[in-house]
Amino acid sequence: MMFVLRMAVRETRASLRRLFFFFICIAVGVAAIVALRSVIQSVRGVFGSEAKSLIAADVLISTNREWTPDARATIDRRLADAGMAERTETIETPTMVRPADRAKVVAKMTELRAVQPRFPLYGSIELQGSQTYSPALLAGHGVLVRPELLTAIDVAVGDQIVIGQAAFTIRGVIVREPGRGMGEFSLGPRVIIAYGDLPSTGLLGFGSRARRAMLVKMPEERVEPLVKLLREDFKDDFINTRSFRSTEDQVGRDFDRAENYLSLVGLIIVILGGIAVSSVTRVFILQKIRSIAVLKCLGARSGQIIAVYILQVMTLGLAGSLLGVAMARGVLASIPWMLGSSTSILAQAHYGVSWSASIQGIAIGVLVSLLFSVVPLLHVRFIKPSLLLRDESVRRARDWAGMAVIAVVSLALVALTAWQAASFKVGIVVCLGFAGLAVVLHLAGRALVALIAPMANSRSFPLRHAVLHLSRPGNQTRVILLAVGLGAFFIVGVRSLQASLLDEFSLQVAANAPDMFLLDIQKGQADGVRAFLGDPAHGAGDYQLIPVLRARVVGVAGSETNLEGADEVRQKGASIGREFTITYRDHLEQNERVIQGAFWNSPAADAEVSVEKMIADRARLHVGDTMRFDVLGRIISARVTSIRDVEWRESRNGGFVFVFRPGVLDQAPQTFVTPLKGPEGLAARARFQHDLVERFPNVSIIDFHEVLDTIRDVMSKVTLAITVVGGLVLFSGGLILIGAVAMTKFQRVYEAAVFKTLGANTRTIARMLLLEYGVLGSLAGLIGSLGAIGLTWGVSRYALEIPWRLFAGEHIGGVLLTALLVAVIGVVSSLDVLRNKPLATLRAE
């Protein structure tokens, strides 16, 4: 045992420099795992400690209709039974806000929340500066706003803004408010007013999209029974009940998932490091053959020698992992500095490396080093001491023990991945996926190396030898192609995907397509809006007022599907359980095509409905079926008379799942939406919105250019995140490359010495190196690029359902940059090959 320990220490000391880079790869991967896990655990801590403020109550009962007296009575009774301690109500609605100062011609979509004095029951509304929230701030038409609104419509605290038909004075700026989730999609910044002031805005008219909520504080142990009872009471109504605990569970699950999936990214980097370790161990053992034979000659057993090297690898793996934890600490320490004075909930967390994350990271680093080095180390068993007397190649018989070890190592890797992803299935899928990707990259690498093999007959001496070097014995071509190719694949792939998506969105906002959307136009306002839009002074392009109603399917009597009641529809009705926005018209839109049955062209007294194909397929609806709809409390039975195929990509005018035949719904209460081509130019668009809202205060306007900006912003963040991951992988690839060069340098130094003796000058040898690494880099880039083409094609076609486009620029740039990167790293880390004097080298041999 002492021998094993001492030898391990000595060997580590001797090979530290050569093996260093490979364990940096392990360090980078471990750092990624530890940092990601710790960050998520820290953020989760914030949420965990404020579970109740996630919904600002113990129980939240909400609806997007008005509370009916029956519903209120039921709730009152249930709450009294459950021993409710306190309750408060809020109403949320999206609406336009504009400055009271008429000189400022802007308007902005916001999310208004009207609150009663007791709000919030848990947590608190935090305001900018040293201001503390009290309901008095809202009294007499006071309003609290998010900082974004101040800049968007150029107002300040103390100024007045107009919401609907009423003016409000800005009394404070919201930093944080309970009950507002992180990363939730929102139509605009939050605005808070007093509950009592809401009616004065006139926003609660028919068809408004207000969401009413009752927040309840009550003894914890009675929460779940109450939620159960209320859900049962309102199973056929548009009323939802949830508790802080179900929210916490949901958030907890989201965090678990995020933590586990993100740490897989780190694991992939570690595994890449592992592959490098495996490859380097193979070369290392080849270089150590004589020393191993000597040790055997001196009486060491194979087991002892393998133990020496395993101990060495684990020591380096441990060192790399500890370095990784230190790197993670550094990254985490810089987070508060990066967030600066951000008001996001992220800034609230205390970032530090958690023990559990560190231990996991270290365990993974050491385990991966071990698993990946065991198989090449088994080669030690076949090294015979007799090779010291006679040069002989090491012969290998069929090695059952070796195969058994490979099987055990593979299983251990699956187990490791499953542990990280906290799912056996994900573990298997990721391992198979990674193995598949590695095999594909490997095969692609071999194919490309074979493809350029004829260049070995080139007339150019440097090129000839550069190509030959790629397949020299003990070459690291495959592992470099894998690591660098994978990095290039990530980066080029995600960048093309981003370009593809942005292109798609930009196309949609192009030319004469509608780029603004008006919502909530009341029936009585329809003519006024038409007149406003028709007035050339306002600069609007084509427009169309579409009547819309909200409806829910409450029954189906069909040839395949039979559902009775809203509850059954919700539970068994595949995709028809939700609430739909419906319309009626006598014509098909350009993006629609009837594929079954016939579309009407005139009104009729009996209700008929046309169903969109995808929904019809999923819910197994057919022409001739009868569907029952609840339209604002009125039940309408409609016969399905056609199935339509809708081209959703051009759905601005006709994106409806259910279209009714005119005649039945015409007189029902309804509102209108209007897709239109807005005026050109920022100022004109702002004025247009301002003027429209001034005349019709309850009308909301969605500007697609703003939405596109938001999407662009979100996508660039996602792209940045994936690019960072790809960058890390590429960085590891670079390290592996440096390590591989260092590992095989002895061979190069010798060859260079021979070439120099035979008359090659330093420039020729430099050209040779440059070409070798340039070719290697181009191959890696090409592999990454081909992979990226496959990825974008698959994702575009099957996940995003957008047409696939090739962004040649991204690919060419990717290949060239990878080639350049590899060439520079390769040549720079080989500089001493050029500098060495041939005689000294040859004498040493």
Partner 1 sequence: MIELRDVSKTVMSGSEPLTILHPLSIQIPHGEFVAIVGPSGSGKSTLLGLIAGLDAPSSGSVLIDDVDITKLGEDELAKLRGEKVGFVFQFFHLIPSLTAYENVAVPMEIAGVADARPRAERLLEEVGLTGRAHHYPSQLSGGEQQRVALARALANNPKIVLADEPTGNLDTANGRHIMDLLRTIHAGRGTTLVLVTHDAELAAMADARLVLRDGRVVESTLPLHPPVAATPTTASMADARVRPHEAS
Q: How far apart are CA 168 and CA 68, in angstroms?
A: 29
- Write down the least CB distance from residue 288 to partner 1, Å: 9
DSSP state of 796: I
Q: Of the ranges 100-108, 234-242, 300-308, 803-811, which one interacts with partner 1 (CB under 8 A)?
A: 300-308
Mention every residue, 6+ apart, whose C-beta is less than 8 A from residue 482: 272, 275, 438, 441, 442, 445
- Write down the least CB distance from residue 6 to partner 1, Å: 6
* DSSP string for 121-140: SSS--EESTT-B--GGGGTT
Q: How far apart are CA 148 and CA 186, in angstroms?
A: 13
| Cβ closest to partner 1, residue 395 vs residue 459 | 395
302 scored as a contact of partner 1 (CB under 8 A)? yes
842 scored as a contact of partner 1 (CB under 8 A)? no
| Cβ closest to partner 1, residue 2 vs residue 510 | 2
* DSSP string for 421-432: HT-HHHHHHHHH
For residue 317, the surrounding DSSP H or E stretch is helix 302-333
| Distance linking the first and last C-alpha atoms of the chain | 34
Q: Which of 140, 225, 303, 565 binds partner 1 (CB under 8 A)?
A: 303
- Write down the least CB distance from residue 474 to partner 1, Å: 18
For residue 113, the SS3 value is: strand
Q: Which of 7, 162, 430, 646 binds partner 1 (CB under 8 A)?
A: 7
- Write down the least CB distance from residue 302 to partner 1, Å: 7
| Cβ closest to partner 1, residue 112 vs residue 285 | 285
Angle made by CA atoms 72, 76, 77, in degrees to the nearest 5? 120
| Cβ closest to partner 1, residue 341 vs residue 393 | 393
- Write down the least CB distance from residue 838 to partner 1, Å: 18
Q: Which of 301, 396, 593, 835 binds partner 1 (CB under 8 A)?
A: 301
| Cβ closest to partner 1, residue 64 vs residue 302 | 302
Residues in the chain: 845
- Residue ranges of alpha helices (H) inside 198-243 are 223-233
Q: Which of 296, 379, 469, 748 binds partner 1 (CB under 8 A)?
A: 296
Q: How far apart are CA 766 and CA 833, in angstroms?
A: 9
15 scored as a contact of partner 1 (CB under 8 A)? yes
| Cβ closest to partner 1, residue 293 vs residue 783 | 293
Which residue reads 């701030």 in tokens? 137
Q: Which of 69, 158, 183, 299 binds partner 1 (CB under 8 A)?
A: 299
Other CB atoms within a 10 A radius of the CB of residue 685 amount to 20
- Write down the least CB distance from residue 15 to partner 1, Å: 7
Task: Answer for the pair 16, 359: CB distance below 8 angstroms, yes or no.
Answer: no
The tokens for 109 are 């979509």
443: number of CA atoms within 13 Å, CB side? 7
811 scored as a contact of partner 1 (CB under 8 A)? no
747 scored as a contact of partner 1 (CB under 8 A)? no
| Cβ closest to partner 1, residue 303 vs residue 794 | 303
3 scored as a contact of partner 1 (CB under 8 A)? yes
Q: Of the ranges 6-14, 91-99, 408-416, 548-556, which one interacts with partner 1 (CB under 8 A)?
A: 6-14
Q: Of the ranges 236-244, 290-298, 342-350, 623-631, which one interacts with partner 1 (CB under 8 A)?
A: 290-298
Q: Which of 187, 297, 415, 820 binds partner 1 (CB under 8 A)?
A: 297
| Cβ closest to partner 1, residue 393 vs residue 590 | 393
The tokens for 482 are 């894998």
Q: Of the ranges 10-18, 196-204, 265-273, 665-673, which one interacts with partner 1 (CB under 8 A)?
A: 10-18
Task: Answer for the pair 361, 420: CB distance below 8 angstroms, yes or no.
Answer: no
| Bridge-based pairing state of the strands 626-631 and 634-646 | antiparallel
* Per rule CB under 8 A, count of chain residues that contact partner 1: 30
| Cβ closest to partner 1, residue 304 vs residue 410 | 304
Q: What string marks each residue from 377 to 416 as x (binds partner 1 by CB under 8 A) or -?
A: -------xxx-xxx--------------------------
- Write down the least CB distance from residue 294 to partner 1, Å: 5
Displacement of CA 677 from its chain's centroid (Å): 32
- Amino acid identity at 802: I
* Neighbour-count burial of 840, counting CB atoms closer than 10 A to its CB (0-12 exposed, 13-18 middle, 19+ buried): exposed
Q: How far apart are CA 481 and CA 781, in angstroms?
A: 8
| Footprint of partner 1 on 484-513 (CB under 8 A) | none
For residue 390, the SS3 value is: coil
- Write down the least CB distance from residue 401 to partner 1, Å: 13
Q: Which of 77, 253, 290, 797 binds partner 1 (CB under 8 A)?
A: 290
Task: Answer for the pair 512, 590: CB distance below 8 angstroms, yes or no.
Answer: no
| Cβ closest to partner 1, residue 435 vs residue 842 | 842
| Cβ closest to partner 1, residue 296 vs residue 379 | 296
- Write down the least CB distance from residue 786 to partner 1, Å: 42
828 scored as a contact of partner 1 (CB under 8 A)? no
| Cβ closest to partner 1, residue 87 vs residue 288 | 288
Q: What string marks each residue from 234 to 273 as x (binds partner 1 by CB under 8 A) or -?
A: ----------------------------------------
- Write down the least CB distance from residue 295 to partner 1, Å: 7
| Cβ closest to partner 1, residue 13 vs residue 695 | 13
62 scored as a contact of partner 1 (CB under 8 A)? no
Q: Of the ranges 141-149, 293-301, 361-369, 487-495, which one interacts with partner 1 (CB under 8 A)?
A: 293-301
Q: What string marks each residue from 78 to 97 as x (binds partner 1 by CB under 8 A) or -?
A: --------------------
| Cβ closest to partner 1, residue 806 vs residue 840 | 840
520: number of CA atoms within 13 Å, CB side? 24
* Neighbour-count burial of 503, counting CB atoms closer than 10 A to its CB (0-12 exposed, 13-18 middle, 19+ buried): middle
| Cβ closest to partner 1, residue 390 vs residue 425 | 390
The tokens for 803 are 């047409």
| Cβ closest to partner 1, residue 15 vs residue 561 | 15
The tokens for 294 are 């000597």
Handedness of CA 559, 565, 569, 571 (dihedral sign): negative
Mention every residue, 6+ apart, whose C-beta is less than 8 A from residue 659: 582, 583, 584, 585, 609, 610, 644
291 scored as a contact of partner 1 (CB under 8 A)? yes
300 scored as a contact of partner 1 (CB under 8 A)? yes
The tokens for 198 are 């809401």
- Write down the least CB distance from residue 290 to partner 1, Å: 6
Q: How far apart are CA 842 and CA 836, in angstroms?
A: 11
The tokens for 300 are 């060491």
Q: Which of 64, 128, 304, 596 binds partner 1 (CB under 8 A)?
A: 304
Can you give 684-706 as a three-state secondary structure string? Answer: HHHHHHHHHHHHCCCCEEEEHHH
| Cβ closest to partner 1, residue 389 vs residue 432 | 389
839 scored as a contact of partner 1 (CB under 8 A)? no
Angle made by CA atoms 737, 18, 771, in degrees to the nearest 5? 30
CA dihedral 824, 826, 827, 829 (to 10 degrees): 110
Can you give 164-180 as a three-state secondary structure string? Answer: CCEEEEEEEEEEECCCC
The residue ranges that bind partner 1 (CB under 8 A) are 2-3, 6-7, 10-11, 13-15, 290-291, 293-304, 384-386, 388-390, 844
